[in-house]
Structure 1
Amino acid sequence: MAHNQDGQDQEVHFVGDSRVKVNEKKLYPKDYSEFPGKTEAFFPNFLLKEWMVAVVVLVGFMGLVMAQEPPLGEQADPTNTSFLPVPDWYFLFLYQLLKFKWASGPFVVVGTVLVPGFIFGGLLLAPWLDRGKERRPMKRPVATGLTLLTLIAIVVLTWEAEDEHQKQLASLPKGDESVEIVDQNDPAYDIYKNNACVNCHGQQLEGLQGPSLRGIGDSYTSKEIIEIMDEGKGEMPAGMFQGTEEEKKQLADWLAKQEAPEGKGEKKSQEHEE
């Protein structure tokens, strides 16, 4: 304590060992660590932290995208009526939702606008709709219940959509599954999957609109397969192969290797090719 000129006691703050009073106020806001249990300023403190985390996640995600080649499906073909289109996995629940009678047909607006709008609109407005100070899930039954219900619905609808798609694929006509694909690691297999032939003969050579190619090497030589590619055969039009001559030769040689196990086919005599 110190005395002023009037003899009254007055509390005085000193800087170090000097006797200079500290009268000026701080020109910067107090740090929020001085207030335990309180929140911090949204801008710029909280927003800066969120952006830093988002940058790290985005860099990691882009690294994975560039390092891993994305799996591509079959080439688009309007003549392939057996193709079963499905959306990406994160939209499967909405795809399955449109199969219900109350969300499709004359009520398609419900499945395409109202329900998705209610879900995503609720997520967007959540900070304004739920402004309670309580953060424990058990103390927030409405918000917790709606969140769990939404998550369960998404998981169930996604599983149902994938399960139904697999059943539809299994119902498509298959070739002789006892005849396995020969040398699936051959680059010619990738040439096959990236061309129009996959639309009729299937990813696994099982045959969709066209015949199965499993065991085709028992019936045709490489030269004969090239002739079919160039001239067509049956319902297959000519000129369906869209690759180079070298790729065509490579594919024909690989298809000629597709032989059935012993006793399941009769191999034609191979012609000498230069």
Structure 2
Amino acid sequence: MANNQEGNHKQVHYVGDSHVRADRSKLYPKDYDEFPGKTEPFLPNFLLKEWMVAVVFLVGFMTLVMAEEPPLGEFADPTNTSFLPVPDWYFLFLYQLLKHKWAAGDFVVVGTMIVPGIAFMALLFAPWLDRSKERRPLKRPVATGIMIITLVAISALTWAAEYEHEQQLLSAPGETPENTEIAAKDSKGYDIYAKNACIKCHGENLEGTNGPGLLGVGNKLSADEISKIIAEGRGTMPAGMFQGSPAEEKILVEWLTKQTQK
């Protein structure tokens, strides 16, 4: 740099140096025409395909929304001791995971930290676990295997959580399903029901007080399932509550299966 003063004016001259060769070829990306059959222009080809997929998904989604009514929960009732809260559907698989002995109790850290941590790290390091340039799933076993295992595990745990919750909720306490009648209240089955203190939790009219209602239970549970609940308990009902004989239990189960919704 040199400074020259002429009168009241100053001139500054900059001298630059570069180690980049002037004749070096510039790195321009290749045109898509150089890859026949392997690529396509973004406009309109690729964008049109994406738009068509989005339209199909949107139409299918709106069809499901209009065909299936959204499930509404029960009215908030702080006196309902039989209410079984569950998380939203997208957390049901984690909720179900914590029901297993190896992921709960003394091993709860497995269900809350280790398993979710492994899943999160597998997702985080997926680009480094499989760096293949192949686009076909069969040619990318690591990424495909992780995806399949994850989808199967989440789907199975979500289904199990939903199924168990539906089995636990026979009907809301204090609510009477429409078109439901108590079958033969003056029968021997009802006498056994009242004698064994079932009436204290499930109500005089099977409407449910401290426990779930049994109106319409015949539509939801089979005789074997009712017998299993009587023997093993479920929810807030402990095992061994029924103190009658096997013959009385059979009569009670048969009577309960007749509590159907017409």
| TM-score in same-fold range (> 0.5) | no
Q: TM-score range by the shorter chain?
A: 0.3 to 0.5
TM-score, normalised via structure 2 length:
0.44
